[in-house]
Structure 1
Amino acid sequence: MSAHGPAVPTPVRPRRSDPSMLRVASASLVGTAIEFYDFFVYGTAAALVLGPLFFPAFSPLAGTLAAFGTFAVGFIARPLGSVLFGHIGDRYGRRPVLVASLLTTGLATTAVGFLPPYTTLGTAAPVLLLLLRFLQGIGLGGEWGGAVLLTTEHAPPARRALWGSFPQMGPPLGFLLANGTMLTLTASLSPAQFLAWGWRVPFWAAGVLTLGGLLLRASLTETPHFRELARNGDRADAPAREVVRKHWRLLLLTAGGLSVGYAAFYAVSTWSLVYGTDRLDVSPVLMLALVTAAVAVMGVLTPVVALLGDRFGRRPMCLTGSALVSLWMFPFIALLHTGRPLLMFLGFLGTLLALVTMFSVIAAYLPELYEPRVRCTGAAVGYNLAGVLGGALTPIVATALSGGEGPPWGVAAWLTGIGILSTACFAALPETRPRTAEAGTVDTTGEEAALA
C-alpha cells in the first residue's frame, strides 16, 4: 500500500486522439538524442580544445582539469533541473517538460558555439562558458524524466521496458551524432583550423536540431496516467518536498545504483580520449572512431536487451550489469593502456555491453518505483543525482589518478568501487515488473507498496 492508498490498478479512459506507441516512442527518442547530442558535444570539446581556448594560462594538465570542471558543472545542474521540470511534470503534465527542457538545452548549446575565447574576452570567457554549461545541465535534467514518462506511461505494462528503451537509445544516438561530427571535422580540417573555428560547428548545428525536435514534439498528447491524476485531483502540491520527505531512501538507492553507469560511460567516452591522445600518443581521430563504434553497438543492442527486462525483471538486469562493470574495470584499463586499436576497442565494447544490461531497463524501472503523483520528480532526480557522483567526478578523478608510467590502476580501482556500491544499492531495491499487467490499466506502484 502506498502512502496515498492501495496500489490497485485503475482503468484508463483511452482517447481517440492518443498517438500510436511508435509515434510516441520515436518522438521521445529523437528529442532525447538531440539533448544528449548537446551534452556530449561539450564533453568531447572539453577533452580536445576547451582547455587551451578558455584556460590558456594553465598548464596542459591543469587546463584539461579546468575544462572538465566546467563539464562537471553540467552534471551538478542536472538534479536542479530535475526538481524544476519535475515540478512542472507532476503538477502540469509531462508534455510541457519535453518542450521547455529541449529549448533550454538547445539555446545554451548553440550559444557556446558563438562564445569568444579567453584571448578576446579575458576571464569573462570561462565564466560565460560555465554559465552556459550550467544551463545545459538544467535542461537535460528535465529531459530524461519527461521523455521516459511520455513513453512508459503510454506503454502497455507487459512491454514497458521495451518501449522505455527508445528514449534510452537517445544517449548513444546523441553521442554518435556528436562524436561523428567531431570525427569528421578533426579528420578533414588541420589542427589550426579545428582550433580556430571547426570545433564550433557542432554547437551551431544544435540550433537546427533543436528546431526539428520542437516541431516533432509539438503535436504529442498528455499521458493517460497524468490525465487520470488530474481527473482524480491527486497531483502533488510540492513534488520535490514529498519525494525528499517520504521517498528519501528510494532516492538514495536509485542514485547510488545508477552511478556506476555514468562513471563507466564517461570513463570510456570522455576520460579515455584525453588519456589516449595525451599519454598513449594515439591520434584523436582514431580514439573518437573506436569509442564511436563501441557506442554504436550499445545503441543497437539496447531494445534487444530491454526485452529481457520485460521477460525476467528489471532488478536482475540491473544487478547483472553493475556486477559485470565491477569485474571488467581492471581488464578495461589493461586493454586501454596497450594503445593497440583492436584491444582498446574490446575494452570499450566490454564496458558498454555491461552498461547496456542495466541501462536498457532503467526507463521502466525508475518510474515503476515511484507512485504516479511524484513520479516525474522522483525518477528524474534519482537518475540525475547519479550523474553527479558518476559522470561529474569520474573524468576529473580519473585524470588526477592517471599520472605515472604504468597502467592507471587507480582509475580501475575507482570504477570498481563505484560498481560495488551500485550493486549493493540495486540489491536493496525491489522488483517492479508487473506480474499480471493488463493493457489499459494504470500501474500505481509506489515505494511503500514495492518495499512491503
Structure 2
Amino acid sequence: MTTTQTSAVTTPAAAPAPESPSLGSRRSPKKAALASFLGSTLEYYDFFIYGTAAALVFPALFFPEGNQVIATVGAFASFGVAYITRPLGGLVMGHFGDRVGRKRVLMYTLLIMGVASLAIGLLPTYGSIGVTATILLVIARLAQGFSAGAEAAGASSLTIEHSPEGRRGFFTSFVMSGYAAGMVLSTVVFIPISRLPEQALMTWGWRIPFLLSVVVLGVAFYVRTRLDETPVFEDQVEATGGKTTLPAADVLRYQGGDVLRVILMSAFSVMQTIFTVLGLSYATSTAGFERSDILTVNAVTIGLSMLVMPLAAATSDRIGRRPVLLMAMTGCALVLPCYFLALGSGNIWLVFAASLLLMTFLYSGFNGLWPSFFGELFASPVRYTGMAMGNQLGLVVAGFGPMIGAVLLTDGHYGWIPVAVFAAVVSLLAGLAVFFSRETAHTPITELGRPYLEAVAAAPAPARA
C-alpha cells in the first residue's frame, strides 16, 4: 500500500469534525432507512421471484421443448440480461439523481420496477405465441434491470446523507436488509406455489408471485412520498445556485479509480446469484432435493441475515469498513465449496449449516456494508452517478454468474469445482479492490470523495462554474 493510501486509512480514525447544527436537524435517518428498506424489498422480491422462476419453470414456459440444457441456459440468460440495462439505468437515473434530487428519481424507479413485474405475470407463454413470448419476457426483464440499476445507488445515497456521523454504516445497511426481506417474502409466496400440481403450477400458479409485487410497490411508494430530500443535496444546490455539470464526466475525470474499485467489489455479488439461482437449480435437478426444501433453507438463512447485516455494519462504524469486507470475502470464497459438498451429500441439514455460514454470517459482512462504503467513496455532487456506474457494471458479472456457472458445470460428483474456482477468482479481485480503497467509516460526510474535492478545489474558478 502506498504512503498516501496508508494515510487515508489511518487519518479518519480520529473523531469526526462537528457538523453544522442545521445539517443534523434536517436529517431523517429512520425515515430514510425505512424508505430504502421498502424500495430494496420490492427490487429483491422481484429479483428472487424471477430467479426462482428461471430455475424452476421458465425453461418449460418460455423456451422450445426438446433440449433441457439449452432451455435452462436460456432461462438463466434471460435472468442475466437485466444486468445489461442495469448500468444504463444507473447512468441515466444517476445523472438526474445528482442534478434534480435523490427522492424524485427514486419514485420513478419504483414505478418502472412495479410495472415490469406486473407485465411478466400477465405474459402469454411460448406454447401460446411462440418466440414472441420469449422476446416479451426479455423486454420486461430489461425494464426491471433499468430500474434496479438506479435503485440501490439512489437509496444508499439518500440514506447516507440522512444518517448521523458515526452511524452511516448501520442506517445504510437497511438498504440491503430489504434484500433479505425480499428473499423471505418471495419464498413465502413461492413455497406453496411450488407445491401445486404440475399442471396448476405451469398454467396459473407461477403468475401469482409477480402479480403480488403490486402490493409491495404500493407500500414503498407511499412511504417515499413522505420523505424529504437530503440536506446534503439541498445544501449543494444552494451553494451552486442550481448550476451543475455532467456528473458522469466529472466522476470519471476525478474519481475514475474509485469507479473501477467499485466495479471489482460489486462483482463479488456473484456469490449471491450462484447461491440463489445456480445452487437452487443444481440442488433440484442434480442433487435430487425437493424444491420446497431448498427454498425453505434459502429463505431461513437469508432471512436471518436481516439481523446480521446491521450488526456487521455497526461493527464497521467502529473498526472500519475494510477489515469487515476483507474477512467476509475471504470467508465466502473458502466456504462456497463446502456448500456444494453439502448439496452432494444429500443431507438437508448439512446444506442448511453450510448455507447459514455462507449467506447468513459471511456474505452479510459484504452485503450489509457495500451500500455505505461504495457511496462514501464519492463526493456528494457525483455520489449517485459514481456509485451507480461502478456498482451496476460490476453486477453484470453477478447477473451472468448462474449462466457462466451452468456452462462451467461438468458431470460427476465434483463437477461444481470450476464454479468454485470462478467465484474464488472474482473474490480475489474484489478483495484487492477493497485493500487499495480509502477507509471511509470515520470521515465526515462533507469530506467524503477526497479526490474529487481536492481536484475541484485546486481548479481555476471558471472551471468550477
Give the TM-score normalised by the residue count of structure 2.
0.90
| Counterpart for residue 425 of structure 1 | 433
Larger displacement relative to structure 2 (41-50 or 249-258) = 249-258
1:243 Cα offset (Å): 2.0
| Match for residue 189 of structure 2 among 155, 159, 181 | 181
Q: Secondary structure at the match of 2:322?
A: helix
Offset from partner CA, 1:222-267 (integer Å, 9 cap, x none) = 001100110011764211122223322211111112212x111111
Distance 1:235 1:269 in 2: 44
Cα offset, 1:19, TM superposition: 6.4
Matches of 1:184 and 1:300 in 2, distance apart? Answer: 25
Counterparts of 1:348-359 in structure 2, within 5 Å, are 348-352=355-359, 353-359=361-367
* Distance in 2 (alpha carbons) for counterparts of 1:264 and 1:281: 22
**What pairs up with 1:224-263 in 2 under 5 angstroms?**
224-233=231-240, 236-260=244-268, 262-263=269-270
What pairs up with 1:52-451 in 2 under 5 angstroms?
Answer: 52-187=60-195, 189-233=196-240, 236-260=244-268, 262-352=269-359, 353-389=361-397, 391-407=398-414, 408-434=416-442, 437=444, 442-448=445-451
**Separation of aligned partners in 2, 1:209 and 1:257:** 29
CA distance in 2, matches of 1:325, 1:235: 45
C-alpha separation between the residues in 2 aligned to 1:451 and 1:323? 33
Compared with structure 1, are the counterparts of its residues 40 and 285 closer, same or farther at alpha carbon in structure 2 (3 Å cutoff)?
same
1:198 maps to amino acid: G
In structure 1, the gaps of 5 or more residues are: 2-6
Instruction: State the partner residue of 1:4.
Output: none
**1:153 match: secondary structure:** helix
- CA distance, structure 2, for counterparts of residue 267 and residue 416 of structure 1: 12
d(CA) in 1 for partners of 2:396, 2:138: 16
Secondary structure in 2 aligned to 1:197? helix
Equivalent AA in structure 1 for residue 413 of structure 2: G
Counterpart residue number, 2:36: 28
Q: 1:125 to 1:113 in 2, by over 3 A?
A: same
Q: Secondary structure, in 3 states, of the residue corresponding to 1:220? A: coil
- Listed one character per residue, the Cα deviations across residues 115-135 of structure 1 (whole Å, up to 9, x for unaligned) are 000111111110110000000
CA 1:14/1:126 → structure 2, altered by over 3 Å: closer, same or farther? Answer: same
Q: Is the 8 A contact 2:262 2:374 kept in 1?
A: yes
Aligned partner of residue 403 in structure 1, secondary structure: coil
Q: Deviations over 1:380-437 (max 9, x none)?
A: 2222222111x222101111222301221111111111111111111111111225x5
CA contact (8 A) 2:55 2:75 kept: yes
**8 Å Cα contact 1:29/1:169 also seen in 2:** yes
Matched, 1:11 2:14: no
Note the C-alpha offset of 1:331: 2.0
Residues 89 and 150, structure 2, Cα contact 8 Å, conserved in 1: yes
- Structure 2: how far apart are the matches of 1:286 and 1:447? 49
Number of aligned pairs? 438
Instruction: Tell me the amino acid that sits aligned with residue 383 of structure 2.
Output: R
After TM superposition, give the deviation of residue 330 of structure 1 in Å. 2.2
| Percentage of matched positions with identical amino acids | 30
CA distance in 2, matches of 1:443, 1:83: 23
Does the aligned pair in 1 maintain the 2:254–2:452 contact within 8 Å? no
Per-residue CA deviations over 1:20-62 (Å, capped at 9, x if unaligned) read: 4222211211121112211221111101111111102351111
What is the CA–CA distance in structure 2 between the aligned matches of 1:76 and 1:179, rounded to whole Å? 26
Task: Check the 8 A contact 2:265/2:429 in 1, yes or no.
Answer: yes
Residues 191 and 295 of structure 2 are in contact (CA less than 8 Å); yes or no, is this contact kept in structure 1?
yes
Whichever residue aligns with residue 158 of structure 2, its letter is L
C-alpha change, 1:12 and 1:77, in structure 2 (3 Å) is: farther
Structure 1 44/204 Cα, relative in aligned 2: closer, same or farther at 3 Å?
Answer: same
Asked if structure 2 preserves the Cα contact closer than 8 Å seen for 1:12 and 1:224, the reply is: no
Contact 1:77 1:134 in 2 (8 A): yes
Deviation of 1:205 (Å)? 0.6
Q: Which amino acid aligns with 2:370?
A: I
Deviations 1:171-227 (A, max 9, x none): 11111111221112113x212111111010011111222122111111111001100
Residues 255 and 447 (structure 1), Cα distance of their counterparts in 2 relative to 1, 3 Å cut: farther
Contact 1:95/1:150, CA 8 A, preserved across alignment: yes
**Aligned in 2, Cα 1:235/1:73: closer, same or farther, shift over 3 Å?**
farther
Q: Once superposed, what is the RMSD of the aligned Cα atoms? A: 2.1
Q: Is the 8 A contact 1:8 1:443 kept in 2?
A: no
CA 1:315–1:239: 2 relative to 1, 3 Å: same
Cα distance in 2 between the residues matched to 1:402 and 1:14: 53
- Could you tell me which residue of structure 1 aligns to residue 460 of structure 2? none
User: Partner amino acid for 1:204?
Assistant: L
Greater Cα shift, 347-356 or 370-379: 347-356
Structure 2 portions without partners, runs of 5+: 5-15, 456-465
3-state DSSP class of the match of 1:429?
A: coil
Asked if the contact 2:287–2:343 (Cα under 8 Å) also holds between the matched residues in 1, the reply is no
Using the TM superposition, give the Cα deviation of residue 112 of structure 1 relative to its aligned residue in structure 2, in angstroms.
0.2
- Residue of structure 1 in register with 2:45 after alignment: 37
Aligned partner of 2:137: which letter?
Answer: L
**CA distance in structure 2 between the aligned counterparts of 1:122 and 1:295, rounded to whole angstroms:** 36
Which amino acid is the alignment partner of residue 448 of structure 2? Answer: T
How far 1:151 sits from its partner (Å)?
1.2
